Each structure stands twice: as C-alpha cells, then as structure tokens.
Structure 1
Amino acid sequence: MTVNEKKRGRPSKKQQQLNADSILAVAKKLMKRNGKAPSIRLLASELEIDPMAIYYYYANKNALLEALTTSLVDEIYLPQENTPWREDLKRLSMSYVELLMEYNGLLETILTMSSYGPAQVFNDRYYKIISPLILDNKTQEDGLGLLVDYLHGFAFAKSCCHDGRLLNVDRMDGSLSLVFNSLERATQKL
C-alpha cells in the first residue's frame, strides 16, 4: 500500500524550494503555455504539491492572480533618466503590447480583475515619463486613457489576427506619434 505524501496546509520541510516566487514562476509558465491564468489545482499539480499549500503563500485565488499579473506587468520597460519622453513612452508602450502578446490571456485577465495593481505599474511609469510636459491632471488622464485604449485594442487585434506577421509592434509607430503629438500640443495650450 502506498501513502500519499501530500499534506494539507503548510508545506513540508522537504518542499523548502516552495515559496511565493517559485509559485509565481510556475504560474507564469502555465499562463504562457495555456493562454489563461492557471487554476489552483493545475498549479498545485505542476508543483507536485497539495493545492492547500499554495494558500499558505496566497490567501486566495484573487491574491495569487493579483501577484501574477502585477509581476508580469512589472517586467515592462522601466523609464530611464535623461531619455527623451517620446522615446521612453514608445518603449513603454511597445514593451507592454509585447508582454500582452507573449502572454495571450493576460489582457483578458487584467481587464476582468477588480484590483488595480497591474494597471498601477503601467500608470506610474506613464506619469513619470510625461512629467516633463507639465500637463494638467485632466490632460494627463485623457492621454493615459487614449494610449491604453489603443494599446489594448492593438493587442486584442493581434490576438485575433490569422497571420501574426500582419500586426507587429513596428506597425504602432504612426498611431503612437498621433498620441504623442496630442500630448505635446496640450503643453502649448497651457
């Protein structure tokens, strides 16, 4: 007779490699492979642990989802000192879309979440980049809304496109220039 070594709750000493970061690493791998956030059961199966062990590190599925999506979005371009704002904003935008295309289910997951963590990562970087423009709050927010709606639309179109070569991030240049020109013109009105 064999005994199931999986135990509920706190991970055993034999599972010392199990921690919040290792759980996130496997969750990222599964999301990339399956195009959607993994279930707790699938994640536990991949880690060869009891699902309850995950709850030792994450209070619930929403906490895990928040950590997963925030961790992924945190990988996008980080603004650099002394880089022209247009170049920084273009790199931020392109890296965000590339991330959404690499993790096919990420956009849908972010848009259906009730928490604000992943969006805050992008927003903070956006506001840092455009700070030299000295725009009023409404113009900053309107620019952010326009940019994010465009990026999400582009990523969504890419996910639906039958030929991935037709839509790549290089095709974003013209549209991004329109958004950037609008931001720049808003500074001239102030």
Structure 2
Amino acid sequence: MDSTFPRARKPHLGYNIEQVEEFLQVARRAYDGTARPGDPPLSAERIRLAAFAMQKRGYSTAHVDAALERLEDAFAAEERQVAARLHGTEAWLAEARTTAQVITNRLARPEGERFDRVSPLALGYRVREVDRFADKLTRYFRDGWPISIDDVRTVVFTTQRGGYRESQVDLVLDAVVDVMLAVR
C-alpha cells in the first residue's frame, strides 16, 4: 500500500504516508459515491486545503501535490456538473463572474495597498512580489492574458517584515483557482 508514490530522497522530508493514504481512500469513496458514514465531506476546496505531516522517507511532496491537483480538478468538474443540473449553467457562471468581480476589485487597489499588512515586526508576503503577480491576474481577468491554474497554485512569495498578510493573499489566490476551475 505504501508504494502509491515515490518516497522522498534523503535528506528531504516527505508527506506522512498513512495520512496521504487515508485521505486518498476517503477521496476515492467520495468520488465513487461510496462514502462511509464517518467520512468527512470532500470538495475541490477541501482537497486544495489538504495538509499532511512531514516524515523521513515519506511520500514525495511533488508527486502527491500533482495528484491532489488532478483530484481537485476532477472534483471541481463534478461540482460544476451537479450545480449546472440543479441550478443551470448560467447560475454557475454568474456565481463565477461575481467572484471574479470581487477579485478584480481587490486587485484594482493601489500597489502596496491591495491587502492588509502585518505588523512591522512580523513577517508577511513581500509586497512587491505579490503586487507583480496581482498585475498578472488583473491582465488575466481584464484582457484574457494567459495564466494557468498551476501558475496560481504554485506561486511562491518570499517574506518581509511588514509585508502583506499571508492568509488574506492565500484566500484571494484560492478564489482565483475557484473561478478558473468554474470556467474551464
């Protein structure tokens, strides 16, 4: 069972094997419609937010993350189909447009003021890097500029004292992924 993914090579840590396997079993049952009474509800968003402990010789983080991205895509497609059947495709797209408008309003703020800042003594995301990526997202929403879901999922910002509040930036990036998955 523990050969689902390659193991992390020394000296790197990998994801906890038992946690990953358990999560994948729950995901398989949820996707197949055979969820057990004790299984937590699973959605594309919950898959995106999944986190695992680290361990020596655990599963390769790159391989697990790639599998989780594919799983998230599959769940998002299923959620889109269910919503379209229940409420119609136009309702689904209207919700995505509303979310996109909220995002673009946030990104239209002046540079250096797009997100809350942490205390000057605390670390947050580097403002210049986040603003540069926010400009790319603005071009995506406004002009259809090409940017992939993977670009959004894998963006990494360095930190600085007094930077942008990480949780707020991450929530906006999650919302961007939601919109991108909705309009696929």
TM-score clears 0.5 = no
TM-score (norm 2): 0.32
Q: Which has the larger radius of gyration?
A: 1
Larger helix proportion of the pair? 1
The structure in which a higher percent of residues are strand is 2
Return the TM-score normalized by structure 1.
0.31
